[in-house]
Amino acid sequence: MRFRCDLKMPTKTLSTFKTTDRNPYLILLLWATPIVLAQILFQQSLMAHDEGYYALQARYILETGDWLTPQWGGGVSFDRTIGIQWLIALCYKLFGINETAVRLPSIVAYLVSTLLTFRIGELVLGRAIGFIAALIFTVMPIGVQYAGLGTQDMMLLMIELLAAWSLLESQQDGKRSLLFLTGVMFGWGFMIKGFMMIPATIAFLPALWFGGINRLSKKRFQIHWPALLWILLGTAIGLMPVIGWLWAATMQYGWEPIQTLVGKIFMLNDKEFHSVGPLYYFWNIPANAFPWGLIGPIGLVLAFLNPRYQKPIAPHRWLLLGFPILLFIALNLFRTKTPYYPIQLLPWLAIWSAILLHHCTDYYRKDWRSQLLGQISLGIGILGFILLIAGILLLSGVIQIESDIIKPIAAVVAVLGIGWLMPRLIWKTRSSFTQDQFIDRWIYSLLLGPWLALTLMGLTGLWGDYAVSLKAGLKPLTQTLNAQTVYFISPPTGLDSDAQKDYILLTLHTPKLGKHLTDIKQLPSQSYAWISPTIASEDPTVGTVRGWRLIQHDR
């Protein structure tokens, strides 16, 4: 059978996805919500870096009433802005100090981002592609993981999507004032991510110029002043919390807050993160967004070459194509590279993937004898069968790997394999459905495997429960920790990476915090303290958790 994917197939309109005849927003919420709820329904514990760091600073905010100062280790730390800490502190105030409250802002941001991905795709390419793109976005692995982490990244993505959505909506008749919201997002993004908002802002500027400021002008460089004024007003309003916070901080701490924030950017750009090299994102994005990190670029090429997509994209090419490409370039130029910086690219990868998926399903819609979907189903089915066999062999013990998490991983692999057998089954039974029913079911079956696997990642605690051994070690000490004020003793030279992670988590799980000290001699008599693994003490040990000893100082 020949594999056909003609880039020049003509059509007048982009076909519909019949599921969207109902309420697409409700369907998307029902689809996306279980994935993130699975990470918080059962046992959960925080990841030390960076989730625990923000959770700890938010706790200090709530306990001290100081909403100005990011605190760390008994001192202050202005190496990051304070937006996410404020949001987590507000959730603490509303829902108590717990892991779910820490992760709630990211969960909400993930769900809102799903709806925004749909709307952005709908405005440019029609409801069908927008809906498929939103479905794909919800099952991108790195996105799902960080949707359940109390960090800055999912909130930053939502802010960027709000800016993109308001820019697109402003191009509708009588909605130019929505550019105010676009401007506001720049300030809010800085409040969440600090100077790391700058690459996204630079990448967004061409879309803002051609899609907002200059859109209605017949002359190429004639400014549309009402649009510019709305953007400037929104930017000024959006920056007010940032300026107010920095002004108040400098009044109390001098120039330290600004110097630390600026210095952090230069420090990050002076060295590569874990020496990952210049090609890091070229393999990391495909791996963490599998398989859409591979499919999306093919859809991007299709969007460039196929006239049926060129025409609707043309007025918005600097947003739909230019922004993610420029941001990808900017992230590669920045020397520090992390798996979570490219989360900002996921909705655009989803839209590009939806273009390709939509294009391929239209072959069947236009020629029911086409075997293209059958060939795709066969390839996915072969991969699914291999994963299913691998999962069974691991679960049965035929293949033995010594690890505490191998069984849950094997279960996830097996479930993904079962899910990826479904497209072939749907293809084989296509005669039982109408053409539209078959396409709807085939697309859902394609996404079913990742949806089940990612949901199971949460239910098994692989994602969501990151400090199992630490929480287990704390259980026998619960009564003592609840009753006593506990100090922390760590060496003045600082802690190594593992000890610092444990320090963050122990601090979070210690209800009554004492001071952070560097010498046991500073402890009051008859007090309790966690002492780091490198510090010796003859005081009685109440309990030990991952090398940290809880002692009762009786001198």
Render pLDDT for 289-329 as a digit per residue (tens, 0 to 9): 999 999 999 999 999 888 889 899 988 999 999 999 999 99
Residue 135 token pair = 């479905």
Do 34 and 159 reside in the same domain of the chain? yes
* Residues 444, 110: Cα–Cα separation, whole Å: 20
Do 442 and 472 reside in the same domain of the chain? no
One-letter amino acid at 270 equals D
* Residues 125, 134: Cα–Cα separation, whole Å: 13
In a domain, 10, yes or no: no
> What local confidence, expressed as pLDDT, does residue 259 receive?
86
In a domain, 365, yes or no: no
Query: In which domain, by residue range, is 542 found?
Result: 468-553
Maximum pairwise Cα distance, the chain: 86
Indicate the Cα dihedral angle 177, 182, 186, 188, nearest 10°: 80
Distances, alpha carbon 165 to alpha carbons 188, 279, 472, in Å: 15, 31, 45
How long is the chain?
A: 555
Most confident of 125-134, 255-264, 497-506: 125-134
To 5 degrees, how large is the angle CA 495–CA 500–CA 505? Answer: 150
Which residues, other chains included, contact 207 with Cβ-Cβ below 8 Å and sequence gap of 6+?
Answer: 164, 167, 316, 318, 319, 322, 323
Per-residue pLDDT band at 1 (split at 50, 70, 90): very low
> What local confidence, expressed as pLDDT, does residue 216 receive?
46
Classified as helix, coil or strand, 544 is strand
In a domain, 388, yes or no: yes
The total number of structural domains in the chain stands at: 3
* Residues 263, 78: Cα–Cα separation, whole Å: 10
Do 323 and 234 reside in the same domain of the chain? yes
Q: Which carries the bigger pLDDT value, residue 268 or residue 514?
A: 514
In a domain, 9, yes or no: no
In a domain, 12, yes or no: no
Do 243 and 354 reside in the same domain of the chain? yes
Do 431 and 498 reside in the same domain of the chain? no
* Residues 496, 498: Cα–Cα separation, whole Å: 6
Per-residue pLDDT band at 17 (split at 50, 70, 90): low
Do 128 and 260 reside in the same domain of the chain? yes
CB 170 within 8 A of CB 71: no
Inform me whether the pLDDT recorded for 171 exceeds 90.
Answer: no
Do 314 and 398 reside in the same domain of the chain? no
Render pLDDT for 120-169 as a digit per residue (tens, 0 to 9): 999 999 999 999 999 999 999 999 999 999 999 999 999 999 999 999 99
Packing angle, helices 53-64 and 99-125, rounded to 10: 120
One-letter amino acid at 504 equals I
In a domain, 288, yes or no: yes
> What local confidence, expressed as pLDDT, does residue 73 receive?
74
Average pLDDT over residues 395-399: 86
Calculate Rg over the CA atoms of the chain.
26
* Residues 45, 467: Cα–Cα separation, whole Å: 5
In a domain, 203, yes or no: yes
> What local confidence, expressed as pLDDT, does residue 412 receive?
95
Inform me whether the pLDDT recorded for 454 exceeds 50.
Answer: yes
Do 97 and 240 reside in the same domain of the chain? yes
Do 319 and 402 reside in the same domain of the chain? no
Inform me whether the pLDDT recorded for 368 exceeds 80.
Answer: no
* Residues 157, 105: Cα–Cα separation, whole Å: 12
Classified as helix, coil or strand, 551 is strand
Q: What is the mean pLDDT of the chain?
A: 88
In a domain, 519, yes or no: yes
Determine what percent of the chain is predicted with pLDDT higher than 70: 92
Do 350 and 482 reside in the same domain of the chain? no
Closest CA to 463 of 419, 409, 503, 507: 409
Of the three residues 459, 483, 508, the one that is the final residue of a domain is 459
Q: Note the Cα 507 to chain centre separation in Å.
A: 25
3-state class percentages of the chain: helix first, strand second, coil last, to nearest 5? 70, 5, 25
CB 344 within 8 A of CB 156: yes
CB 519 within 8 A of CB 535: no
Average pLDDT over residues 7-30: 65
Do 237 and 380 reside in the same domain of the chain? no
Q: Which carries the bigger pLDDT value, residue 351 or residue 536?
A: 351
> What local confidence, expressed as pLDDT, does residue 18 receive?
61
> What local confidence, expressed as pLDDT, does residue 228 receive?
84
> What local confidence, expressed as pLDDT, does residue 436 receive?
86
**Other beta carbons less than 10 A from residue 350's beta carbon:** 31
Inform me whether the pLDDT recorded for 221 exceeds 80.
Answer: no
Of the three residues 336, 358, 380, the one that is the final residue of a domain is 358
Residue 123 token pair = 């405005």
Distances, alpha carbon 129 to alpha carbons 62, 113, 136, 347, 371, in Å: 44, 16, 10, 12, 22
Do 88 and 138 reside in the same domain of the chain? yes
Q: Which carries the bigger pLDDT value, residue 212 or residue 159?
A: 159
CB 9 within 8 A of CB 309: no
Of the three residues 334, 358, 382, the one that is the final residue of a domain is 358
Classified as helix, coil or strand, 259 is helix
* Residues 67, 90: Cα–Cα separation, whole Å: 11
Average pLDDT over residues 82-108: 96
